[in-house]
Amino acid sequence: MSEFWQAISVNFDKIVNWIPVLLKSTGTTLLLTLCSVSAGLVVSVFLALGKMSKLKILSKLCSAYIFFFRGTPLLMQLFVVYYGLPYMGITIDSKFFAAFLAYAMNSSAYLAEIIRAAIQSIDKGQLEAAKSLGMSYPMAMRLIIIPQSIRRLIPPIGNEFIMIVKDTALVSSIALVELSGKTKDIMIASSSPLVFVPALAIYLLITGVFTFILNRLEKRFSVYE
Q: How does pLDDT run across 198-207, given as a tens digit for each residue?
A: 899 999 999 8
- What pLDDT does residue 223 have? 54
CA distance 47 to 39: 12
Cβ atoms of 167 and 103 within 8 Å: the answer is yes
Cβ atoms of 187 and 195 within 8 Å: the answer is yes
Residue 10 in any domain: the answer is no
- CATH number at 143 reads 1.10.3720.10
Residue 7 in any domain: the answer is no
What does the mean pLDDT of the chain come to? 85
Residue 8 in any domain: the answer is no
- Residue 144 structural domain: 15-224
CA distance 162 to 184: 20
Residue 96 in any domain: the answer is yes
- What pLDDT does residue 222 have? 65
The predicted model gives 194-214 an average pLDDT of 88
pLDDT at 63 over 90: yes
User: Three-state SS for 196?
Assistant: helix
Residue 119 in any domain: the answer is yes
Cβ atoms of 198 and 186 within 8 Å: the answer is no
* Count helices and strands in the chain by DSSP H and E runs: 11, 0
Residue among 48, 59, 44, 216 nearest 122 (CA): 48
pLDDT at 225 over 70: no
Residue among 208, 203, 153, 170 nearest 41 (CA): 153
Residue 70 in any domain: the answer is yes
* Total domains, the chain: 1
Residue 112 in any domain: the answer is yes
Cα–chain center distance at 70: 13
The conformation of residue 89, written as its DSSP 8-state character, comes to T
- What pLDDT does residue 153 have? 83
- What pLDDT does residue 14 have? 78
For 67-123, write each residue's pLDDT tens digit: 999 999 999 999 999 999 888 888 888 899 999 999 999 999 999 999 998 888 877
**Cα separations in angstroms, 145 against 16, 41, 116, 128, 135:** 50, 17, 11, 11, 12
Residue 4 in any domain: the answer is no
